[in-house]
Structures are given as C-alpha cells and as structure tokens.
C-alpha cells in the first residue's frame, strides 16, 4: 500500500494525504537542517536513513514533515515510518552514470516492501523504461534531485514534468529538493510537484536577503514586517524568510482546496515572461492531459485574466462537451444568437430580461420553436439550457467586446459545429452587435446553408429599434413553421435533458426525462426532480449539475460515459478502493458523479476523487466516495 492517497485533484496538482489517517500532507514544505559537514544542504528525515546507494559517507539524513508533533504522531504511526529508506544523497555527483543508476535501482527493488517508499530519480532517467518496475512497487515518494537544472528552460521543464506526471499514478508524491523561489510554487504545483523544502530560506538568509510575498530586498532596507520573527530582538531573518515560504505553500494549498489553482497560476505567470509562454505552450501541446484531470463539477469563480484563459482546461472541456454532447431539441427551428451579460446566469441580467420581453411579444408559441445560443468568450457558445451549470454561471472577464483573432476563430468554429445539428430548414436570427461579433457571424454566414437574419446590426442590442426588430422578425419567422406539428415540451424538461447529456453523455437526457418533470424547491436551495410522481434526481444549486438515484441510473447505464466497472456486486463501506476497480471510463473527471457498475448493474453512485485516467493507474487507496448505494434484497 502506498503511503499517500490523493484527496483532491486539479490538473496535475493534488492534495495528498496519509493513506490511513487521511491527514493532508501536500502541498507541503519539508524542513531541512543545515549539516555543517556537507557543502550546501541536505534533506533530513527525523529518523536515521541509511544511504544504501553507495559507499559515500554515511550521514544521518533526516526529513521532517512540516506538521505539528501532535498530528505527526497520528499520521506517521509506527508501521508507516519512512525509516531505513534508501536515499540518494544530494551531494552525490549530479550526473549519475547508467551503471550506478542500475545498481541503485537494483538495490531499491531488492528492499523489503515497507522500506521501498522513497526513490530518487535523476533527470536523465525520466523516460527510462526501468521506472515501470518502480511503479509496480509501493514507492510513494520520488525525489527529483536535479530537476532544477531545467529552471532556465521552463518549456522543457514543463514538458518533462507533464510527461513524467502523466506516467505516474497520482498517489505518488514528487519532491523537488533545494532552493526554489516561492514565486514558482503555484506553477510547479500545477505541473505536479507536491513537496518543496526550506533550503531557499537558508540560502537567502545567509546572503542577507529579506523575502516578501512579491520580491527580495536587502536586509537593511526592506518593507516593514510585523511577524513574530521580525518583532523579536534580535530579528530572526531565517525565521521570517521561512515563514514567507510556509505562507506561499499555504496559498497554493488554499487554491487547490478551492479549485482556483489555475487562476492563481495565470496571475503568477505574468510576473515571469518565460513562464507565461510556458503555460500557453502547455495548454496547446498537453492541454488534453490537464483537461482530463481538471474538475468540471465546481463552484469556484472562473476569473479570466487574459488570453491564457481561452485555453484553460475547464474552458476547453466546456467547449469540447458542447461540441460532442449538446444536441438541440428536435423541434427547434429558430436559432437565436444573443450576446452574453456580465451578470450570471444571463437570464437574470437586465439585458436578457429585455430580450425575453421582445420574444414574448412574438407570441408564446414561439418558445417551442426557439433555441437560444449565447455567444461569449472564452466559452464561445452557451445554450440557454446550460446557462446555470459550471463554468457558464461562474466566469467573468475584465473587458467584454474585445475579441482576439483566436477567440473569433474558436467561437465561429464551435458555433458552426453546433448549428450543424439543427434541422435543415432552421433559421438563424442574429441579435449580436459590435466588431468581434460581426466577424464571427460573417464566418458563420459563409459556411452554413442556414438562412441568417440580422436584427441588431444597426443599433445596440438593447436599443428600442433592435428589440422591436427582434419581435417583428420572430413573429414573421414563426409563421413559416406554424403548419408543422410540434410537441409541447416544458422548459425544465429541455434544460434537464441538456444538462444530463452534457454530464453523463449524449442521449441520456431523453431516457431520464422522457416526459414532463416536476421541480420542487427553488434556488438557492437545490431543486428536487420528480418524474411520474417518483423522486429521481437532485439538481445541485451550487454547481448546476445532477445527482441521480442509482435505481434510475440503470436506464442510462449502457450509454453513460461516467462508468466505473467494479469487481464485486456490492461496495462495502463508504468508499470505492482502487483494488476493486476493473476499469474506469477515461472521460471521468475528478469530482464527477460516477456510476459504480458490476456486470451491467449499477450498484452505487459516487463522487470521483481523481480522473478515470488515474483511477486506472492507482493500485491502492480510495478513488471515489460513495454517495448512494442501490438497495439490494438479500
Ligand atoms: Zn517578518
């Protein structure tokens, strides 16, 4: 069993806990003491370690988890003490020869299980096929002793790390020893580092440097600080500097817990031009690897900072799902394109209330024909039915109306994709206004066979003139379709079907909500959903997503994308553990509502802790928390 267990996943960033106690340990700062005899620093365990690797001087190395003694006692109980670990000392030659590495590997693998927990991986062996052997063991912590060599080439650093992290199971912690500026912590955590240490504080304190959250200052001229280390006489500079590191780790931890790490990274990378370029590169080349590990079920505000936000994993995932999973209601014949609003959900904004009024003036029968698409950046296209789900209800952008080339291209492409699923007689009503929108509609017009009518090209969308034009055009357009036979579907049913398709896969909405549904309870309380008098699901007000009772999941279990194949016919306890998992759908994201299936029967619903991709990699620890179990007659 591995020492760590991921409690939360956000891209390659994770909260790791001790497996048995679930006490959170990462992101963490490891304390080191400065051994006088060694040039530089060395990491310590607080119990003796034997460097098994070579005949180098046997020094007592200690590594102290930075947690309070009372908690440590609970966390590191005897059977789990990382004692007698092989440790590749940091003072060993940086370039380890192939022969030495193999010898080390051999030694490591021949250790008894309990001791096989910490492995040192030199940079030039990241892609070695020998690592597979390590992954089969209980190895829990990998020390990347010389990763820092890539710090001058952030792009290469990000690439190597992404590849390595993708290969490793998420319950393996990565420790980057040595002097690392806290300005890098958020980015390094985002690409998968779990532990840093306090050696940076030693290094700069020795050089007379005073660290603050946003810079370094000479010891005799720095901004005032009122921490206990600065208030004492004499000032404890090391204590102060170390405190800044602890705060920086705590800041990353907070962002991971709140699902806002990406926003933090986007803000932090602007302090460093190379990092900003690296992030864009990562999104472009490895975006999918991050996307498949980033939760979509969330209620964290998506603060879009700049162009980076366009390729933010959660934003790409939204666009991808609109493309792959959103299918317009079959009777839709009039597609209305509307601009977004700062207030979310859009329908509660002043502008959208005005649009709604204009629609009503065209007559109430318009609504069975109408499909509303909100055109916006960076999400591109938000169907009205999905305006309440994450991230549609939770994003904000500093300046609306300024569209970059990329935004125009991405948005018009997605819009064309969505439009291709409407009936061939459908008519598009373009109620958008302004430069970027003009370019988008122009591209659409050129590439669609559907007829496009403008209602707001001369005046702003909320002007009296434009609104009147909208009502008139809707009224005349609807006449064209009045001879058709349409089934009346209430807007709740349409909405629930769209959410279900988006969440569980295309076609599931039609099966779960074939006819009229009833919702009880209003925002901010979570509405309960009833079908034929049966309580079948809950719509969570905080995220906009659904929870379905296991008995009703049965109906969609063969087409759903959120399945976890389980080896037994019941789940004991309140967690699903990795050894029982036969296979997880790789489209499962952390935090997703998933269905635990045994031989085609849904035995429970659960909340995923890690992505499906990573569930398949884990060999121990829990992968999901059970929400509801199917009642079985024994
Ligand atoms: Zn201070």
| pLDDT tier, 39 (very low <50, low <70, confident <90, very high otherwise) | very low
pLDDT tens for residues 74-83?
A: 443 333 333 3
* Domains 328-384+398-481 and 492-629 in one fold: no
What is the whole-number distance in angstroms between the Cα of residue 227 and the centre of ligand 1?
Answer: 4
| pLDDT tier, 476 (very low <50, low <70, confident <90, very high otherwise) | very high
Q: Where along the chain do its domains lie?
A: 4-256, 328-384+398-481, 492-629
Cα dist from 624 to 154, 300, 337, 607, whole Å: 34, 21, 40, 5
Chain-centroid distance of CA 466 in Å reads 40
For residue 170, what pLDDT is reported? 95
Residue 486 has pLDDT above 90, yes or no: no
For residue 309, what pLDDT is reported? 85
| pLDDT tier, 468 (very low <50, low <70, confident <90, very high otherwise) | very high
Q: Which residues, including other chains, have CB under 8 Å from residue 440's CB and lie 6 or more apart? A: 375, 403, 408, 411, 412, 415, 432
Q: Does domain 328-384+398-481 have CATH number 3.30.410.10?
A: no
What is the whole-number distance in angstroms between the Cα of residue 243 and the centre of ligand 1?
Answer: 8
3-state secondary structure of 453: strand
| pLDDT tier, 443 (very low <50, low <70, confident <90, very high otherwise) | very high
Of the listed ranges 129-133, 170-174, 236-240, 591-595, the least confidently predicted one is 129-133
What is the whole-number distance in angstroms between the Cα of residue 384 and the centre of ligand 1?
Answer: 51
Average pLDDT score over residue span 309-329:
94
What is the whole-number distance in angstroms between the Cα of residue 26 and the centre of ligand 1?
Answer: 24
Q: What percent of the chain has pLDDT over 70?
A: 88
Say which residue the tokens 């607080």 belong to.
46
What is the whole-number distance in angstroms between the Cα of residue 232 and the centre of ligand 1?
Answer: 10
For residue 237, what pLDDT is reported? 94
Residue 60 has pLDDT above 80, yes or no: no
pLDDT tens for residues 248-279?
A: 999 999 999 999 999 999 888 877 777 888 89
CA neighbor of 63 nearest in space, from 19, 118, 24, 22: 118
* Helix ranges (DSSP H) in 292-434: 313-325, 350-361, 405-419
Of the listed ranges 97-111, 124-138, 440-454, 500-514, the least confidently predicted one is 97-111
Q: Which residues, including other chains, have CB under 8 Å from residue 330's CB and lie 6 or more apart? A: 423
For residue 190, what pLDDT is reported? 96
Question: How does the average pLDDT of the chain come out, rounded?
Answer: 85
| pLDDT tier, 147 (very low <50, low <70, confident <90, very high otherwise) | confident
Average pLDDT score over residue span 548-565:
90
What is the whole-number distance in angstroms between the Cα of residue 63 and the centre of ligand 1?
Answer: 25
Q: Which residues, including other chains, have CB under 8 Å from residue 14's CB and lie 6 or more apart? A: 6, 7, 8, 26, 170, 192, 194, 256, 610
Say which residue the tokens 């300046």 belong to.
399
For residue 44, what pLDDT is reported? 41
What is the whole-number distance in angstroms between the Cα of residue 230 and the centre of ligand 1?
Answer: 4
What is the whole-number distance in angstroms between the Cα of residue 81 and the centre of ligand 1?
Answer: 34
What is the whole-number distance in angstroms between the Cα of residue 248 and the centre of ligand 1?
Answer: 14
Tokens of 174: 């990565």
- How crowded is the C-beta side of 74, counted as CA atoms within 13 Å? 10
What is the whole-number distance in angstroms between the Cα of residue 246 and the centre of ligand 1?
Answer: 12
What is the whole-number distance in angstroms between the Cα of residue 211 and the centre of ligand 1?
Answer: 9
3-state secondary structure of 531: strand
Predicted structure pTM score: 0.88
| H or E segment and range at residue 438 | helix 435-447
Distance separating alpha carbons of residues 573 and 114, to the nearest angstrom: 26
CA neighbor of 175 nearest in space, from 382, 280, 31, 334: 31
Average pLDDT score over residue span 304-325:
90
Chain-centroid distance of CA 2 in Å reads 24
- How crowded is the C-beta side of 126, counted as CA atoms within 13 Å? 20
Phi and psi, residue 313, nearest 5°: -50, -45
What is the whole-number distance in angstroms between the Cα of residue 19 and the centre of ligand 1?
Answer: 35
| pLDDT tier, 506 (very low <50, low <70, confident <90, very high otherwise) | very high
Average pLDDT score over residue span 193-214:
88
What is the whole-number distance in angstroms between the Cα of residue 148 and the centre of ligand 1?
Answer: 27
Distance separating alpha carbons of residues 268 and 265, to the nearest angstrom: 5
Tokens of 337: 């394109």
Phi and psi, residue 171, nearest 5°: -90, 10
CATH architecture classification, 492-629: Roll (3.10)
3-state secondary structure of 39: coil
Cα dist from 172 to 10, 11, 202, 634, whole Å: 15, 15, 28, 39
Residue 298 has pLDDT above 60, yes or no: yes
Say which residue the tokens 């999400």 belong to.
379
What is the whole-number distance in angstroms between the Cα of residue 237 and the centre of ligand 1?
Answer: 7
What is the whole-number distance in angstroms between the Cα of residue 346 and the centre of ligand 1?
Answer: 46
Distance separating alpha carbons of residues 509 and 406, to the nearest angstrom: 33
Q: What is the largest CA-CA distance in the chain?
A: 91
């Amino acid at each position: 069993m591995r020492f760590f267990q991921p409690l939360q996943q956000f891209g390659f960033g994770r909260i790791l806990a001790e497996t048995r106690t679930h006490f959170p340990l990462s992101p963490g700062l490891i304390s080191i003491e400065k051994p006088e005899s060694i040039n530089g620093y060395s990491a310590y365990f607080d119990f003796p370690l034997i460097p098994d690797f070579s005949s180098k001087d046997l020094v007592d190395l200690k590594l102290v988890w930075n947690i309070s003694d009372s908690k440590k006692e609970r966390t590191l109980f005897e059977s789990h003490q990382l004692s007698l670990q092989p440790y590749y000392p940091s003072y060993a030659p940086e370039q380890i020869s192939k022969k030495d590495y193999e010898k080390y590997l051999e030694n490591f693998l021949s250790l008894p299980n309990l001791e096989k927990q910490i492995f040192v991986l030199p940079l030039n062996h990241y892609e070695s096929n020998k690592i597979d052997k390590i992954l089969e063991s209980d190895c829990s912590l990998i020390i990347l002793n010389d990763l820092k060599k890539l710090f001058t080439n952030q792009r290469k650093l990000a690439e190597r790390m992404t590849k390595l992290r993708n290969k490793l199971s998420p319950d393996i912690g990565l420790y980057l020893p040595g002097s690392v500026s806290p300005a890098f912590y958020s980015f390094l955590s985002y690409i998968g580092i779990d532990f840093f240490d306090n050696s940076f504080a030693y290094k700069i304190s020795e050089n007379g440097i005073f660290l603050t959250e946003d810079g370094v200052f000479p010891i005799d001229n720095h901004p005032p600080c009122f921490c206990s280390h600065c208030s004492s006489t004499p000032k404890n500079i090391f204590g102060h500097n170390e405190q800044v590191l602890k705060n920086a780790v705590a800041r990353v931890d907070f962002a991971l817990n709140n699902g806002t790490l990406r926003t933090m990274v986007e803000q932090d990378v602007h302090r460093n031009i190379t990092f900003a370029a690296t992030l864009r590169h990562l999104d472009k080349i490895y975006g999918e690897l991050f996307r498949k590990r980033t939760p979509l079920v969330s209620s964290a505000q998506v603060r879009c900072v700049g162009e980076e936000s366009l390729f933010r994993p959660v934003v790409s995932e939204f666009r991808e799902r609109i493309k792959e999973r959103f299918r317009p209601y079959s009777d839709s014949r009039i597609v209305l394109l509307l601009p977004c609003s700062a207030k979310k959900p859009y329908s509660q904004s002043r502008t959208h209330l005005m649009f709604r009024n204009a629609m009503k003036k065209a007559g109430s029968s318009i609504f069975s024909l109408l499909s509303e698409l909100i055109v916006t950046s960076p999400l591109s296209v938000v169907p009205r039915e999905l305006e309440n789900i994450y991230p549609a209800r939770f994003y904000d952008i500093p300046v609306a109306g300024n569209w970059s080339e990329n935004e125009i291209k991405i948005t018009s492409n997605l819009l064309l994709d969505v439009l291709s699923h409407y009936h061939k007689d459908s008519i598009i009503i373009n109620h958008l206004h302004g430069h970027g929108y003009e370019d988008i509609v122009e591209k659409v017009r050129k590439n669609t066979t559907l007829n496009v009518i403008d209602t707001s090209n001369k005046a702003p969308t909320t002007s009296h003139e434009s609104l009147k034009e909208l009502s008139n055009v809707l009224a005349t357009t609807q006449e064209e379709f009045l001879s058709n036979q349409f089934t009346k579907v209430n807007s709740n049913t349409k909405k629930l079907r769209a959410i279900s398709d988006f969440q569980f896969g295309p076609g599931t909405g039609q099966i779960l909500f074939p006819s009229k549904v009833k919702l009880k309870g209003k925002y901010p309380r979570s509405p309960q959903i009833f079908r034929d008098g049966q309580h079948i699901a809950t719509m969570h007000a905080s995220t906009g997503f659904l929870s379905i009772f296991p008995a009703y999941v049965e109906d969609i279990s063969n087409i759903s994308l959120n399945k976890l194949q389980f080896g037994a016919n019941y789940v004991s306890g309140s967690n699903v553990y990795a050894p029982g998992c036969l296979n997880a759908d790789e489209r499962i994201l952390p935090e997703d509502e998933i269905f635990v299936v045994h031989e085609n029967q849904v035995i429970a619903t659960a909340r995923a802790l890690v992505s499906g991709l990573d569930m398949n990699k884990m060999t121990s620890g829990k992968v999901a928390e059970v929400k509801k179990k199917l009642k079985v007659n024994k």
